[in-house]
Amino acid sequence: MSTTEIRPEQSIELLKALHILTRDGKMNQDSRRKLKQVNHLFQFIEPMLKELLRSKPEFCVVDHGAGKSYLGFILVDLFLRHQAPMATMVGIETRPELVESSRALAQQLKFEQMKFLNLSVADSIASTALPSQVDMVTALHACNTATDDAIRFGLAKHARFMVLVPCCQAEIASVLRKNKARQLKDPLAELWRHPLHTREFGSQLTNVLRCLQLQAHGYQVTVTELVGWEHSMKNELIIAELKGPPKADAIERLQAILDRLGLEELRERFFLP
């Protein structure tokens, strides 16, 4: 099936609510682009959902920093409500108005497998409204440190899979900028001497450190590109699967990079096993 075709099982009302279809149910150039993006991302996630279903029919997926719960609704619409009726989709969001609007839409569509929680990161880890272990954590275009919040939650909940599309990474660039005078003694610091390079290198480095952090905790990590997201330069997709015990070499490499680049103050952010 083409990535720009509506699947027979898809909810037309949901596609309208997400502005993938126009109010009269038609498609235009913009809606075709959005549908292509949705279907392309789902193609990456579907095999993991099938694997969870085989091993645990009542699996739980948590969309962290859910926003309008765009991704959660799509996963329920395309997979959970048809193939995994015992599974649960939970959207965690700090903005109460978005939580309420998502609850209203789920009720309207009769998507009873969905629930939405207005929680901070720390509260979501400790909350009794969530199981002690979740099976998949997603974070779609979670800005700046929100992706790290999702990773921290996934590690605390021993998630089998994590699916992350990071966005707007600024914190590491700011630390590089602050410590530039000391770092320039190292020839490698030429990689971020100029402000534009500081921003771009900081963004790249952020995701490299995230991958090492996940590997350090025993995850096998794949990094790929979300083709078709032409409206955004932030199209990096990080997929992690828990495979075994912590990896000592990843821990050593992460620590060495933080020390070499003058980022020691970020140790807590990329906390290790």
Listed in sequence order, the residues at least 6 apart from 86 whose beta carbon sits closer than 8 Å to its beta carbon are 57, 58
114-117 and 161-167: which strand pairing? Answer: unpaired
> Tens of pLDDT along 144-195?
678 888 999 999 999 999 999 987 778 888 888 888 877 778 888 898 899 8
Question: Who wins on pLDDT, 269 or 2?
Answer: 269
Does residue 61 sit in helix, strand or coil? strand
Segment 101-122 mean pLDDT: 94
Tokens of 26: 């038609």
The structure's pTM equals 0.90
Segment 115-137 mean pLDDT: 93
Are 156 and 125 in contact, with CB atoms under 8 Å apart?
yes
Q: Nearest CA to 5 among 80, 244, 15?
A: 15
pLDDT of residue 39: 82
Summary mean pLDDT of the chain: 89
Are 21 and 27 in contact, with CB atoms under 8 Å apart?
yes
pLDDT of residue 4: 62
Q: Tell me: pLDDT of 273 over 70.
A: no
> Tens of pLDDT along 52-84?
999 999 999 999 989 889 899 999 999 999 999
Cα–Cα distance measured from residue 173 to residue 170, given in angstroms and rounded to the nearest whole number: 5
> Tens of pLDDT along 189-235?
898 899 899 889 998 999 999 999 999 999 999 999 886 555 455 67
User: How many Cβ atoms are within 10 Å of 214's Cβ, its own excluded?
Assistant: 25
pLDDT of residue 1: 55
Torsion angle, alpha carbons of 51, 68, 127, 146, to 10: 90
**Residue 107: what residue type?**
Q
> Tens of pLDDT along 3-40?
567 888 889 999 889 888 888 878 877 777 777 777 88
> What domains sit in the chain, N to C, each tagged with a CATH number?
1-168 (3.40.50.150), 170-217+246-273 (no CATH)
pLDDT of residue 3: 57
